[in-house]
Structure 1
Amino acid sequence: MSPDDVVTRHERRNLSVLAVQNVVLRIGWIFKTESVIMPAFMDAISGAGWLRGLLPILSRLGQSVPPLLFSDWMRTRPLKKTILVLTALQMAWPFLLLSLLWWQLEDRRQWWMPVLFLVLYFYFFSATGLNQLAFGTLQGKLIRPNRRGLLLGIGGIVGSLGAVTAALGFLRPWLMLPNQDGFTQVFLFNGGAFLIAGCVALFCTETRDDDGTARPFHLTKPFQEAWKTYRTDRAFRRAARVAMLFITSFLLFPHYQWLGREQLGTSSADLIIWVVAQNISVGILSPILGWVADQFGNRLAIRIAVFASAATPLIAMSFVNGLSPLTPGWYWLTFVFLGLVPVTMKAILNYTLELVETPDHPRYQSTMSLCFAIPFLFSPFVGLAIDRLPFEIPFVVVSGLIMVGGILTFWMSEPRDSLELAEKTESVV
């Protein structure tokens, strides 16, 4: 039986297992959204804008550098699902520790708490980066390209329904508890969800790869290879430029909830509305963009999403400056557009999978993740700018950068065109 036949035979089961794993992960993820919950927790222990500005850079560095360093090692592992399981377990324990600490502490504004939180935050996203690399590699191995959009859609719809149900049933009352006591239950819940997600991945049916030989580890070698990939592969380079411009949208993530709270006078109850709006948006947009990607290619899905994302900072500004015909109570629409960000990132990574053969998937995925990280070097400066300048300046600049990224999608290649041409050539021969 050929490798393609093996993939086809078990694809339905593996697609279902990966979808369930993605759904459970999404349910846990809503309890730690970077746009609402994490900045709110940072404000509870500190409140400094420049510390909020560190959250995006730590999250993106964690999701970019470790995957790059370990991509060659992951390539040589015979079973990728084992890595998916272990990294999910590593995602769980930082939040379980935070839950225990928050439950024990009476005075939560300890001088060491922001430092510890930032360290755990970086560790969590380092494990998340490796988990995403393992998921992408396993998906590339077990799911055909024209079925990956379906996986994205299923995870988006069912994951959003589960996440919203959990948020309304548990997150809302927990965040309304006095003295921010609810963070104990919030962190316990999402830590538990990540544990379960790791166990679900064990049910994938995966054939063992031949044991590869990892090259001797050199700290600088992965970065040299990433630069070589960027420099020599024109199709990848064009996609990476779009990705870097688009990902600047993340630089404003911690500040949207600050904007609503400080400029519009919203309350803790609004946090739940924003979280729910963002997750429902992901659930609706995932199958739509997934269908576009399966039918017309990821390039068109990326183009649509990037142009739409450019409007997000402008929508937030319109509410604060009174330019919107809607009342501030409709500020949640901002978070509807923020739902485009995680969906677009997955579409970009799926696009990357189509540029190369399966053995090169870890290297290309980790290199794209590193490209995602580069704009985050400016995240603390965005936080300082919002503290010291009119907030409209960084918001307009980010919107403009995303718009340029949308324009550059017209120079991206479509891998499906090359695949279809190759298939036609083979049929003629």
Structure 2
Amino acid sequence: MPASATDESTEEQRESFNIGILATQLIIMRIGWIFKTESVIMPAVLDVISGAAWVRGLLPVLNRLGQSLPPMLMAETIRGIPLKKRALIFTTLGMSVPFLILATTWRWLENRQQPWFVAMFLVLYLFFFCATGLNQLVDGTLQGKLIRPTRRGRLLGLAGMIGSVGAVIAAWLLLRPWLALPNNDGFGWIFLFNGSAYFLAGLMANLCLEDADPAPAKSSRPWWYAFAAAWEVVRTDARFRRAALVSVLFMMGLLLFPHYQWLGREHLGTGNQELIIWVIVQNIAVGAFSPLIGRLADTYGNRMALRVAAFASSLTPFVAVLLASPLVPLGKNLFWLTYVFLGLTPVTMRTISNYTLELVPRDQHPRYLSTMTVCYTLPFIISPLFGALMDLVPYQYPFLAIGGVILASALLTFRMDEPRA
């Protein structure tokens, strides 16, 4: 066998091994993630300790703030790390810290409706998403280094499908008895499980087979260079601008995430047992959509996959409003259908990241990914006002308006470039 064929076979084996390791890590994280679902669990926790709609409205702001500014500020640093898997280890371990602290505090407190605890919860929530934002940047950069574009959809599908099955089993076996505990004590166990899953996933990342990159030259760039570099990407790359506009409009849909469970509770009379069903349904949907969208991306490109996912996602607010209306007498029993469509959101966000990776060479991946995460954040500037608006106007207006915005994002995918053309 020629040496070139042997080398190619070895690289293929290394890539397959790394797909397996990264998929396993993402599966463990997916199982942990179901215990902190942004559309169900976290808003329910805030309803226990606060109940104010404007506080609920802070969740998307802190979510996106943590996932945008730290990655942008650290993009050059991450690009210069010779072994990206080490950064993946530490960022994943960092995700575990807030939930382990919350688990300890929750079990210690008798009365959780205290202002200082609300503030502490929000600070830890922000810390978690700072670690998450860095983790996603490192994960995308490592995938760009270790896995070819035509196999990244396979990783998305494998991790999404198996991870969702594991998450559903864990939720069915553990969430039900924990949420049934008196005085909402079960949230302490939920936080403990969540933090432990991220801790284990962090250790898993060390198994990746990665060659060290050459050490970069020392840089003395000022802290504001990251903002200038991000603006340069937006200013000079028309392809990125078109993709960024689609992502900004699509991300408007996340403004509704804390309010779906509120809609079910307040207008349909649902309770904690329905929360379990919604969490399970959403994760089954992620598992079902991941291989479908991943295969679509590998075959026809990420632009086509993004278009299909965005059109389907635009139905979510309309379905929720319809099921909460008198037009559907069995709306309470069918409200889980809303969470089927919500399962498209994380898959679509990963597809946007994969599309971004295809726009530029590997050495530009951290900068482009971090700039895209900043674009994700722009809609969340209005999130607290949006939360307050939910208390002032009929819920149908903001829900239907967001549905129209997501539909506009789907239509604008026709203006995006196809990198593989």
**TM, length-normalised to structure 1:** 0.95
SS of 1:109's equivalent? Answer: coil
2:356 corresponds to 1:348:
no
1:216 deviates by: 2.3
1:12-411 equivalent positions in 2, closer than 5 A: 12-213=16-217, 215-324=219-328, 326-411=330-415
What do you get for the CA RMSD once the two structures are aligned?
Answer: 1.4
2 CA distance for matches of 1:2 and 1:59? 46
SS of 2:57's equivalent? Answer: helix
Residue pair 2:70, 2:134 contacting (<8 A) in 1 also: yes
Residue pair 1:36, 1:271 contacting (<8 A) in 2 also: yes
Residue pair 1:99, 1:185 contacting (<8 A) in 2 also: yes
Give the paired residue count. 417
**Unmatched 5+ stretches in structure 2:** none
Residue pair 2:324, 2:331 contacting (<8 A) in 1 also: no
Percent sequence identity is 54
1:327 deviates by: 3.4
String of CA shifts for 1:9-33, please: whole Å, max 9, x gaps: 4101000000000000000000001
Amino acid of the structure 2 residue aligned with 1:126: C
Residue pair 2:282, 2:339 contacting (<8 A) in 1 also: yes
SS of 1:415's equivalent? Answer: coil
Change in Cα spacing, 1:6 to 1:231, as seen in structure 2 (3 Å) is farther
Amino acid of the structure 1 residue aligned with 2:205: A
Residue pair 1:76, 1:214 contacting (<8 A) in 2 also: no
Amino acid of the structure 1 residue aligned with 2:114: Q
Residue pair 2:325, 2:331 contacting (<8 A) in 1 also: no
1:220 deviates by: 2.0
SS of 1:179's equivalent? Answer: helix
Residue pair 1:72, 1:215 contacting (<8 A) in 2 also: no
Residue pair 1:102, 1:183 contacting (<8 A) in 2 also: yes
1:325 deviates by: 6.8
Residue pair 1:87, 1:128 contacting (<8 A) in 2 also: yes
1 CA distance for matches of 2:406 and 2:218? 38
Residue pair 1:60, 1:125 contacting (<8 A) in 2 also: yes
Amino acid of the structure 2 residue aligned with 1:49: A
1:7 deviates by: 4.6
Residue pair 2:268, 2:331 contacting (<8 A) in 1 also: no
Amino acid of the structure 2 residue aligned with 1:204: C
Amino acid of the structure 2 residue aligned with 1:363: R
**Unmatched 5+ stretches in structure 1:** 418-429
